[in-house]
């Protein structure tokens, strides 16, 4: 929070920065259950990886580990390693803390190399840390944003003072970024490619810069990409893309809530003031060209990519945090920087205050959901039935994956932990039944389901409850959540 550093002492700048970090950490540590959509699934996946050989649980019946140098492996390895010393839920909270602190710290490092107005750029990195992607639990992607800016900072250091040690450090950082998430890896490669085309550094430096990405590209080409599977690319509408320019600042599940509208309005005011008759502003031409390419990519990229049963959504939207930080790094705001800093501070305070409140407000509901875990025996075969996120009007703070705590606390054997082929470490031994989302798109084979599972954990699917009531005994109900014990189970399918 060093926005007013030009008038503050060094100690005051440090104090404000620390205060901003504390504000980022506070929501994660004052609640029992961080209400991040995908988070329980990620946590449960890492727990299964750490206990595949544990004879007290039956995870090896359904899952295996594929420890390869692949995207997402870094977070899996980190959580598994932390579980050697810490309970999994504490390990997960540490990873969340790293996630929220890494973004502003990496942007600070990058802005220093660009010689940007570091204070204002870093301040907006604080604002962007709790973006919608973090709130829905896309942890690897959020870590890759920080990794991307760290790589770019190291690369600029290498360009400024090239030597073999700096290049080896850059190579290691690029490979590490690949193991976080492909999006950050791709953006880093795109930024470096555009910049060398604009700046035209010595050809040897260009060659070595791009060479650092070759190991990652090789790993992508040799990975399992599902070539024999049907592929679908879906482009978002113009209205959707316009809406996303402010939607990633949402802090409340209902977009039209006053807190959201205030934040959106302040952000629009900031953008207008950034360019409207601001004669004192100056732009770094090289970096503004890079920012323009990133922003153009937002409009050109598809919104969704589907490969068989795997789907990758919000592809275009993920470009926005990179583009916005790059625009700020390229800008010298001039005399208006105090006003811009004030707007950023107000947005940060409003967002973090509202988000902290939302985290606390969600706890009673999640505590009730935790009671649903206790009614199911240890090591039971449990089928989670929840709607895809696209079926819910707003999926902020929706406990769709809360059943993951049953895997951790009760040893549930459940088929829907994240296990994307060629990307994630946890892998299924066999295709589960029913396929994910089948209860919304096709008729279910209820007899087959009865034979495979002991319990059904059903959330937000009331139209299936009559059938579930007929084939099972209701053992827990709380609002949209119902848990059923299935009658006449047979042995687990071999």
pLDDT digits (tens, 9 = 90+) for 366-407: 999 999 999 999 999 999 988 765 444 466 788 899 999 999
**Minimum mean pLDDT among 271-280, 283-292, 468-477: which range?**
271-280
**Minimum mean pLDDT among 194-203, 217-226, 357-366: which range?**
217-226
Closest by CA position to 263, among listed 276, 245, 250: 250
CA distance 248 to 241: 11
**Minimum mean pLDDT among 148-152, 202-206, 252-256: which range?**
252-256
pLDDT recorded at residue 175: 95
Residue 294 has pLDDT above 60, yes or no: yes
pLDDT recorded at residue 95: 96
Percentage of the chain with pLDDT > 70?
87
pLDDT recorded at residue 1: 45
- Cis-peptide into 438, omega within 30 deg: no
State the pLDDT confidence band at 357, using cuts at 50, 70 and 90: very high
**Minimum mean pLDDT among 210-219, 281-290, 484-493: which range?**
484-493
């Amino acid at each position: 929070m060093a926005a007013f550093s030009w008038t503050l002492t060094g100690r005051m700048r440090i104090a404000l920065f620390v205060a901003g970090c504390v504000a980022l950490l506070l929501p994660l540590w004052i609640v029992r259950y961080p209400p991040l959509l995908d988070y329980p699934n990620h946590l449960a996946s890492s727990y299964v990886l750490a206990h595949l050989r544990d004879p007290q649980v039956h995870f090896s019946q359904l899952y295996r580990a594929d420890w390869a140098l692949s995207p997402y492996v870094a977070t899996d390895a980190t959580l598994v390693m932390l579980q050697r010393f810490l309970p999994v839920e504490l390990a997960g909270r540490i990873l969340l803390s790293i996630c929220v602190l890494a973004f502003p710290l990496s942007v600070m490092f990058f802005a220093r190399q660009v010689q940007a107005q570091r204070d204002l750029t870093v301040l907006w990195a604080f604002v962007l840390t709790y973006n919608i992607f973090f709130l829905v639990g896309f942890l690897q992607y959020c870590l890759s944003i920080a990794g991307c800016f760290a790589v770019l900072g190291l690369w600029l250091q290498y360009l400024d003072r090239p030597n073999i040690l700096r290049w080896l450090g850059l190579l290691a950082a690029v490979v590490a970024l690949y193991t976080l998430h492909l999006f950050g890896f791709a953006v880093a490669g795109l930024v470096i490619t555009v910049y060398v085309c604009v700046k035209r550094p010595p050809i040897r430096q260009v060659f070595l810069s791009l060479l650092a990405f070759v190991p990652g590209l090789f790993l992508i080409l040799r990975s399992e990409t599902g070539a024999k599977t049907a592929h679908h690319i879906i482009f978002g509408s113009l209205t959707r893309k316009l809406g996303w320019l402010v939607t990633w600042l949402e802090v409340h599940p209902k977009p039209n809530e006053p807190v959201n509208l205030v934040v959106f309005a302040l952000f629009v005011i900031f953008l207008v003031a950034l360019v409207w008759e601001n004669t004192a502003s100056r732009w770094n031409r090289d970096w503004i060209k890079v920012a323009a390419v990133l922003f153009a990519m937002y409009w050109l990229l598809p919104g969704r990519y589907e490969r068989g049963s795997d789907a990758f959504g919000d592809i275009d939207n993920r470009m926005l945090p990179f583009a916005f930080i790059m625009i700020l790094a390229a800008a010298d705001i001039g005399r208006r920087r105090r006003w811009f800093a004030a707007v950023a501070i107000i947005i940060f305070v409003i967002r973090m205050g509202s988000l902290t409140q939302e985290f606390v407000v969600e706890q009673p509901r999640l505590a009730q959901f935790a009671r649903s875990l206790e009614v199911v025996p240890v090591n039971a075969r449990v089928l989670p039935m929840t709607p895809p996120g696209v079926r819910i009007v707003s999926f902020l703070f929706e406990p769709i994956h809360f059943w993951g705590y049953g895997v951790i606390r009760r040893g549930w054997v459940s088929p829907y932990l994240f296990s994307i082929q060629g990307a994630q470490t946890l892998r299924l031994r066999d295709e589960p039944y029913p396929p994910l989302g089948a209860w919304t798109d096709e008729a279910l084979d209820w007899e087959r389901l009865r034979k495979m599972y002991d319990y059904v954990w059903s959330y937000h699917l009331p139209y299936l409850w009559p059938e579930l009531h007929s084939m099972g005994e209701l053992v827990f109900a709380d609002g949209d959540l119902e848990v059923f014990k299935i009658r006449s189970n047979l042995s687990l399918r071999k």
